[in-house]
């Protein structure tokens, strides 16, 4: 394995539950009753894709303007609910370890700038790191576009990459991109869900993964 | 099966993600960084037990007054984050179906009054229904006390009861009480986690369970 491609929310930063509740309330304010657990299991898709999928489950159709409006409201609520962004355990140290060992890595997220800037800041991810966000590709996860764009910018081959993500959508997108993947429990999925989606290995969080890098062939 | 014993949050009412985030923020305000997913997997225990367990994982000890203070703050934040309580799909209809078919049922929750009153109201659970809350027993889930107290008040035997819950703690408590259990995914646990904890069957939510009551021997 030559390069690691990281998801952001739920993998490096502890924002999943704020995102879920913000969507739940944004939907409810729009008169749509979508349950927390269904939102949780959709998180990691792009906001637009996710909103349409969630609303479709209700048997509704929804206008693009309303999707945009809910996305805006979701962003406001996340900031209101969780003013501070906290790195997940071991996330900062893991990236530092990779830097010191000169292991190539990048970020590929369904989030968008400027919303993700504070997360990147607290993780110490500067302009020297390749970060591909939702706006840079045509289609978000579970399509492989984000990981393929990240891999191309890193200048490595797909088969040399390993995706690190907390959501089933990361792992499905990795397989479709021809990449290996590992799953982290820190986004609140169950272990078997991640294995079934194709994870080579599942770890608790970035901290546990940091001590197990050799298991996927990364020698420090 | 003669009686159904229901958990409340995540089983009948869509509050799990608000509880998780409220704990996450209450801990953070107290200077304790406890990740969302770890809180999620502890929810359903009593607040005090849960707080101590979570803090112990950090390697700290914590004074009882600080636990009380965080519990108060958690309650405030839940109300702030989620002003309305929404029943989970099929929950109201399921209870109505049981009433019409004269199937005995009760509620056994790690929550406390008056916090749970609004949930009971939106579910149409009046004073005719047996509701055992955290304050009525010595020990909360995963101890069997809540379910045993509920069973005794319903006047049935433990082996005639089936617990319906969304959390691993419900299912473990049920086994220790000598009761069957079914798991619901509506609290955000994965299917295998619930089966491994001893669920006889796992359903999506109350709505799916309502149409499958015959699978656990309840004839309408």
Collect all residues of chain A within an 8 Å Cβ-Cβ radius of residue B206. Answer: none
Collect all residues of chain B within an 8 Å Cβ-Cβ radius of residue A40. Answer: 17, 188
- Give CA–CA dist B199/B204, Å, rounded: 13
* C-alpha dihedral (A171, A48, A60, A172), degrees to nearest 10: -10
Q: How far is A87 from chain B (nearest CA, A)?
A: 9
Task: Give the DSSP letter string of A39-70.
Answer: HHTTBTB-HHHHHHHHHHHTT----HHHHHHH
- Give CA–CA dist A220/A56, Å, rounded: 47
Give pLDDT tens digits for B14-38: 999 999 999 999 999 988 888 999 9
Which pLDDT value is given to residue A64? 82
- Give CA–CA dist A12/A88, Å, rounded: 5
The CATH code that applies to domain B3-14+86-216 is: 3.40.50.1000
Read off φ and ψ for residue B162, nearest 5 degrees.
-125, 125
User: Has residue A58 got a pLDDT over 80?
Assistant: no
Give pLDDT tens digits for A154-163: 999 999 999 9
The mean predicted confidence, pLDDT, of chain B is: 93
Domain locations in chain A? 3-15+85-216, 16-81
Q: Which CATH architecture has domain B16-81?
A: Orthogonal Bundle (1.10)
- Give CA–CA dist A175/A158, Å, rounded: 10
The residue with greater pLDDT, B117 or A57, is B117
- Give CA–CA dist A158/A172, Å, rounded: 14
Give pLDDT tens digits for A66-120: 888 888 999 999 999 998 999 999 999 999 999 999 999 999 999 989 889 999 9
User: Has residue B192 got a pLDDT over 70?
Assistant: yes
- ipTM at complex level: 0.91
- Give CA–CA dist B165/B168, Å, rounded: 8
User: Has residue B62 got a pLDDT over 90?
Assistant: no
Does the beta-carbon distance from B82 to A188 stay under 8 Å? no
Q: Which CATH architecture has domain A3-15+85-216?
A: 3-Layer(aba) Sandwich (3.40)
**Residue pair A166/A174 in contact by the 8 Å Cβ criterion:** no
């Amino acid at each position: 394995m030559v390069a690691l491609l990281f998801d952001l929310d739920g993998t490096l930063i502890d924002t999943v539950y704020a995102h879920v509740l913000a969507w739940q309330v944004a939907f409810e304010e729009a008169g749509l009753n979508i349950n927390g657990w269904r939102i949780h299991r959709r998180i990691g898709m792009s906001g637009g894709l996710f909103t349409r999928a969630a609303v479709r489950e209700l048997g509704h159709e929804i206008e693009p303007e309303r999707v945009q409006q809910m996305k805006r409201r979701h962003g406001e609520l996340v900031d209101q609910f969780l003013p501070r962004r906290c790195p997940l355990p071991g996330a900062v140290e893991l990236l530092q370890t990779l830097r010191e060992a000169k292991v190539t890595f990048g970020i590929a997220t369904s989030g968008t700038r400027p919303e993700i800037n504070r997360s990147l800041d607290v993780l110490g991810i500067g302009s020297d790191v390749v970060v591909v966000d939702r706006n840079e590709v045509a289609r978000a996860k579970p399509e492989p576009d984000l990981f393929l764009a990240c891999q191309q910018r890193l200048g490595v081959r797909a088969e040399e990459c390993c995706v690190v993500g907390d959501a089933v959508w990361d792992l499905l997108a990795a397989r479709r991109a021809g990449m290996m993947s590992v799953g982290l429990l820190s986004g609140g999925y169950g272990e078997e869900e991640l294995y079934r989606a194709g994870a080579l290995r599942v770890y608790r969080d970035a901290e546990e993964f940091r001590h197990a890098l050799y298991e996927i062939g990364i020698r420090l």
